């Protein structure tokens, strides 16, 4: 009830932040920043070593660093319980992606949302914490069914994964996680909705 009331107040408030709103990239972890443990290493072209719960996604490291380079803050929204989301192994994995961003201050902040399959409330908490408008946020998640949680408050959504049966049932063993095409698609969405200049992928920059 408290969470529903908080969400209602946020929606009614509308643009509760100033025109100098911040921007934020929000990532799921499993099968978004990670890939399946048995995904084809050559196909996925991963840069980081395997860890016990999966492998880094195709462009996980590049995506996080690119968001930061473009002036976006970075948040995490995962349904994993606290004992997993804040485990030593999970923290070590995220630090491999960006040691300067994923530090203990981050893990103790509202940028790290976990433990709720209905992700809307956590996404709203990230918006509030970063002072970002919904149209200046992008949520990357492998499950298409999670799009509704972002869309409920006007956050841009981009599905992240290579291998799906029907867009809803992930093939965990072969899933490569976020790739460059999906990342660029998501960034272009948020650049348009946030009225930013056109997004130019790193591969096209001189």
Give domain status of residue 141, yes or no: yes
pLDDT score recorded for residue 67: 97
Where does the pLDDT of residue 202 fall: very low under 50, low under 70, confident under 90, or very high at 90 and above?
confident
Give domain status of residue 93, yes or no: yes
pLDDT score recorded for residue 42: 62
Mapping DSSP to helix (H, G, I), strand (E, B) and coil, where does residue 157 land?
strand
Give domain status of residue 7, yes or no: no
Does 56 score more than 80 pLDDT?
A: no
**Which single residue is written with the structure tokens 């956050």?**
155
Please state, in angstroms and as integers, the Cα–Cα distance from residue 120 to each residue in 56, 82, 139, 154, 178, following that order.
25, 17, 11, 10, 21
Q: How far apart (Å, rounded) are the C-alpha atoms in residues 93 and 145?
A: 26
Does 15 score more than 70 pLDDT?
A: no
Does 51 score more than 70 pLDDT?
A: no
Give domain status of residue 5, yes or no: no
Does 97 score more than 80 pLDDT?
A: yes
Q: How far apart (Å, rounded) are the C-alpha atoms in residues 102 and 17?
A: 25
Does 137 score more than 50 pLDDT?
A: yes
User: Looking at the chain, how many residues does it have?
Assistant: 206
pLDDT score recorded for residue 16: 38
Total of domains in the chain: 1
Do residues 32 and 161 make contact, with C-beta atoms less than 8 angstroms apart?
A: yes
Give domain status of residue 18, yes or no: no
Give domain status of residue 67, yes or no: yes
Where does the pLDDT of residue 54 fall: very low under 50, low under 70, confident under 90, or very high at 90 and above?
low
Give domain status of residue 191, yes or no: yes
Where does the pLDDT of residue 36 fall: very low under 50, low under 70, confident under 90, or very high at 90 and above?
confident
Task: For 167, list phi and psi in degrees, rounded to 5.
Answer: 85, -5
Q: Which of 99, 97, 143, 93 is nearest to 118 (CA)?
A: 143
Chain centroid to CA 126: 11
Where does the pLDDT of residue 149 fall: very low under 50, low under 70, confident under 90, or very high at 90 and above?
very high
Residue 49 belongs to a domain with what CATH number? Answer: 3.40.50.1000
Name the token pair of 98.
């960006």
Concatenate the DSSP letters of all residues of 155-184 into one string.
-EEEE--S-BSSSSSB-TTT-----HHHHH
Other CB atoms within 10 Å distance of the CB of residue 135: 18
pTM of the predicted model, to two decimals? 0.83
pLDDT score recorded for residue 43: 63
- Helix (H) or strand (E) holding 133, with range, is strand 132-141
- Identify the domain containing residue 131 by its residue range: 29-204
Give domain status of residue 9, yes or no: no
């Amino acid at each position: 009830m408290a969470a529903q009331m908080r969400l209602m107040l946020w929606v009614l408030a509308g643009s509760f932040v100033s025109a100098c709103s911040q921007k934020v990239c929000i990532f799921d972890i499993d099968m978004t920043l990670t890939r399946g443990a048995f995904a084809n290493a050559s196909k996925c072209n991963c840069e980081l070593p395997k860890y016990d719960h999966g492998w880094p996604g195709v462009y996980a490291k590049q995506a996080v660093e690119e968001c930061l380079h473009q002036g976006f803050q970075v948040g995490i929204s995962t349904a994993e319980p606290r004992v997993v989301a804040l485990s030593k192994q999970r923290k070590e994995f995220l630090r491999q992606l960006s040691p300067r961003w994923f530090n203990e201050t981050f893990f103790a902040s509202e940028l790290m949302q976990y433990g709720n399959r209905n992700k809307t409330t956590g996404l709203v908490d990230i918006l509030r914490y970063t002072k970002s408008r919904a149209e200046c946020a992008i949520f990357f998640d492998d499950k298409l069914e999670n799009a509704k949680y972002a869309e409920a408050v006007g956050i841009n959504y981009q599905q992240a994964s290579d291998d799906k049966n029907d867009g809803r049932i992930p093939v965990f063993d072969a899933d490569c996680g976020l790739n460059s095409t999906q990342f660029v698609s998501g960034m272009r969405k948020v650049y348009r909705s946030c009225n930013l200049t056109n997004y130019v992928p790193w591969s096209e920059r001189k």
